[in-house]
């Protein structure tokens, strides 16, 4: 059923295509796909980045339904921008997308109005906006060694951003994702946070979109992701993440043997109070899809709808807090030093460029003066005078 846009014009039903570049996310990928298809996404274009944990097999099972188009990218070089841009362009050129969502496997797009599906919301968003941003909120809950139960991850992390680094080694809350109209040749920035389609504003509040992010599902899952990210950046010298890049920071923790305590302290101990708000839409929506018999591959949802993940004891949580209290201040100092050296290097580089530009101008001015007719005449006169003087010297007895 068509809705009316904010300008009062009847808008036809919209076609939504999602792109997805994924590597080793078998614990969550089926839930992510089922969620978005149930929310009204018409097609998911997925590129598997040489997964080894069964992710590609799950994607292939969904591809057989016709709702997922599966591609492969075998290089582990973190070349996300190029791969996602190609998929986003294909979404428009081949699949005639009105709107394109570029997602990670741990992101769940929803309408802020909980009575609306994504499809409902996009029916009310005019295409003349071009692109707009959707805020991303981390979802958290009890930490676990393994497992993927989404019933644990029902707390929105709304802690004061200024305290995140000093308390849980997070620089900031996630950056917003860019949503855009379908356009062949579009360029999507690394991380899906921007596109080269100018934004003409945000949707009306009643049609706003947000993203629920579940990055720390279990230590087994998260440590694998950190290792994959760090090694991929190591393999691609053309990419230069900042010293505050969360993946590379956690990669340093992993190499130092302290990633697990950091993982644990990022989760609230017990039932949280200040800094968190309850939101069970992801798991509730999946339970509803399964209950109505609408899941395309319900066998892949058992683990995420179960609640038997292996957790940590109170003693282990206490020890993690002690280790983190030592590690995090050292990391804060490391980032500050790295930032100072980077700023110093950039300042020196800028000064070198200024000096080189000045020398270039002086050289150009010298060459210009040297090429003037009077300058050439003086040089010729000088040569003739030296030649004459030399001959006179030879004639003298």
Distances from the Cα of 163 to the Cαs of 167, 169, 261, in angstroms? Answer: 6, 9, 18
Q: 134-166 pLDDT, tens per residue?
A: 999 999 998 999 888 899 999 999 988 888 888
- Residue 144: strand pairing partners: 311
What kind and span of H or E run contains 31? Answer: helix 29-38
Kindly report, residue by residue over 234-267, the tens digit of the pLDDT: 777 766 555 445 677 888 889 999 999 999 998 8
Cα–Cα distance, 349 to 369 (Å, whole number): 30
Pairing, β 209-213 against β 276-278: unpaired
Q: In the sheet where 131-134 sits, what is the strand order?
A: 68-72, 43-48, 16-22, 99-103, 177-181, 131-134
Q: How far apart are CA 291 and CA 304, in angstroms?
A: 15
Residues 13, 123 contacting (CB under 8 angstroms): yes
E runs forming strands in 193-243: 209-213
CA angle 259, 263, 264 (to 5 degrees): 120
Cα–Cα distance measured from residue 262 to residue 280, given in angstroms and rounded to the nearest whole number: 25
Would you give the end-to-end CA distance of the chain in angstroms? 115
Residue 110 has pLDDT above 90, yes or no: yes
- Residue 88 above 90 pLDDT? yes
State how far the Cα of 134 lies from the Cα of 176, in Å rounded to an integer.
5
Asked if residue 85 lies in contact with residue 187, where contact means CB atoms within 8 angstroms, the answer is: yes
pLDDT confidence of residue 188:
96
What is the pLDDT at residue 1? 38
Residues 6+ apart with CB under 8 A from 252: 331, 334
Q: How far is CA 291 from the centre of its chain?
A: 33
Per-residue pLDDT, averaged over 331-351, amounts to 68
Give the residue with greater pLDDT, 210 vs 353.
210
Pick the closest to residue 158 from 32, 329, 285, 273 (CA basis).
273
- 5-9, 26-30, 341-345 — which is least confidently predicted? 5-9
∠ CA 279-228-49, rounded to 5°: 90
H/E stretch holding 217: none
**Positions of E strands within 89-163:** 99-103, 107-111, 131-134, 136-140, 144-146, 155-157
Angle, alpha carbons 49-101-85 (nearest 5°)? 55
Predicted confidence (pLDDT) at residue 376 exceeds the cutoff of 70? no
CA distance 17 to 100: 5
* Confidence tier at 283 by pLDDT (50, 70, 90): very high
Report the alpha-carbon distance of residue 90 to residue 17 in Å, rounded.
10
Mean pLDDT (whole number) for 201-212: 97
Token couple for 220: 């087994």
pLDDT for residue 392:
61
Contacts of 374 (CB under 8 A, 6+ apart): none
DSSP letters, 259-325, are: HHHHHHHTSPSSS--TTEEE--HHHHHHHHHHHTT--SSGGGGHHHH----EE--HHHHHHHHHHHH
The pLDDT of residue 8 is 46
63 within 8 A of 40, measured Cβ to Cβ:
no
Q: Say if CB 153 and CB 139 are below 8 A apart.
A: yes
Query: What's the average model confidence in pLDDT over 24-43?
Result: 97
Domain ranges of the chain: 16-312, 322-397
Task: Return the closest-CA partner of residue 213 out of 136, 304, 132.
Answer: 136
């Amino acid at each position: 059923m068509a809705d009316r846009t904010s300008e009062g014009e009847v808008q036809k039903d919209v076609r939504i295509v999602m792109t997805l570049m994924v590597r080793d996310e078998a614990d969550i990928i089926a839930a992510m796909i089922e969620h978005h298809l149930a929310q009204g996404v018409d097609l998911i274009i997925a590129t598997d980045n040489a997964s080894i944990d069964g992710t590609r097999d799950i994607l292939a099972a969904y591809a057989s339904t016709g709702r997922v188009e599966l591609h492969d990218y075998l290089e582990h070089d973190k070349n996300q921008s190029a791969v996602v841009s190609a998929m986003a362009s294909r979404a428009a050129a081949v699949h005639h997308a009105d709107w394109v969502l570029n997602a990670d496997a741990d992101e769940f797009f929803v309408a802020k109005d909980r009575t609306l599906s994504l499809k409902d919301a996009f029916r009310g968003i005019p295409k003349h906006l071009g692109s707009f941003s959707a805020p991303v909120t981390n979802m958290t809950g009890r930490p676990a060694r393994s497992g993927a139960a989404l019933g644990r991850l029902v707390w929105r992390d709304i802690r004061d951003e200024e305290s995140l680094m000093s308390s849980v080694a997070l620089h900031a809350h996630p950056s917003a994702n860019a949503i855009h109209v379908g356009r062949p040749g579009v360029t999507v920035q690394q991380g899906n946070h921007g596109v080269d389609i100018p934004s003409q504003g945000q949707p009306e509040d009643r049609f706003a979109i947000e993203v629920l992010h579940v990055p720390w599902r279990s230590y087994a899952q998260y440590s694998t992701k950190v290792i994959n990210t760090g090694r991929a950046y190591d393999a691609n010298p053309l990419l230069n993440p900042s010293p505050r890049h969360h993946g590379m920071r956690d990669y340093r923790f992993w190499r130092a043997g302290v990633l697990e305590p950091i993982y644990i302290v990022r989760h609230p101990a017990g039932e949280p109070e200040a800094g968190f708000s309850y939101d069970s839409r992801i798991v509730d929506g999946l339970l509803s899809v399964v209950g109505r018999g609408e899941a395309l591959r319900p066998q892949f949802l058992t683990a995420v709808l179960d609640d038997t993940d292996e957790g940590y004891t109170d003693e282990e949580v206490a020890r993690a807090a002690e280790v983190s209290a030592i590690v995090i201040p050292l990391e804060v100092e490391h980032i500050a030093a790295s930032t100072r050296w980077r700023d110093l290097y950039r300042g020196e580089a800028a000064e070198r460029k200024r000096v080189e530009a000045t020398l270039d101008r002086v050289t150009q001015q010298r060459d210009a003066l040297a090429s003037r007719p009077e300058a050439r005449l003086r040089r010729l006169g000088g040569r003739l005078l030296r030649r004459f003087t030399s001959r006179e010297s030879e004639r003298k007895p």
